[in-house]
Amino acid sequence: MEIEPGQVSLFVPPDWFDLMADGDDREATRVRCAEIIHRTYPNTPIDRREEFVDGLMECHERHLVDGALMYGVITAPLPRTGDQAVWQVQAGVVAVPSTPEEVDLGALMSRVFDARFKERVAYVERFTTEMGIGFGFLSQPLVPVPEDWKGEVPAGLRTGLAGALACSPQGGKGLLVVGTCLNPDQVRELAALVAVIAGNSVFVSEAPLDSE
């Protein structure tokens, strides 16, 4: 199914750092990455900061090729516990069947992530969005550990995985927002952020439904 070109108004926090905001303007992206790295690690040697920027640019290239609309990274203490959050959130447009109520998001996400995480999505919920309907999921899947990492990371390593799909009741296209967190115990907080982004974002060519 082809998706018509268009625009999405993404609902994100005001201080959100979106790696994809400059599109394919790599020079502008590198300038913004260098600025955020300098502000985050002001006392780190310059050559080390350049390595961090190079890493962000590699992520930018990969997500640009994959067609991602947004890719954000959060590294901040959580207000509730003070624990450090290390989250990655990305979003893209996907084709949705004409009867989205029949979408089994658990099965869909399992097909997408089975090769990597080897487990089904644990929990799926339906909710209302500005586009009409939404489906959210969260899980704490096991992460395969590369052979050269064994002994350096604990056995049974898990991550937090959350996502939400928002779309019109008529289907056609939808916004899929997916987040991962290094600490699986933070998956509910991550899921809340993902649901807020998906639930309040809209395709600008479509008027949001009346919420009253």
pLDDT at 108: 60
| Model confidence pLDDT, tens digit, residues 46-105 | 999 999 999 999 989 998 988 889 998 887 788 778 888 888 899 999 888 777 666 665
Q: In the chain, which stretches have pLDDT less than 50? A: 207-212
pLDDT at 27: 95
pLDDT at 126: 86
Question: What's the pTM value of the predicted model, to 2 decimals?
Answer: 0.80
pLDDT at 90: 92
pLDDT at 211: 39
pLDDT at 110: 55
Residues whose CB falls within 8 Å of the CB of residue 179, separated by 6 or more in sequence, listed in order? 87, 88, 89, 90, 160, 161, 162, 163, 190, 191, 193, 194
pLDDT at 103: 64
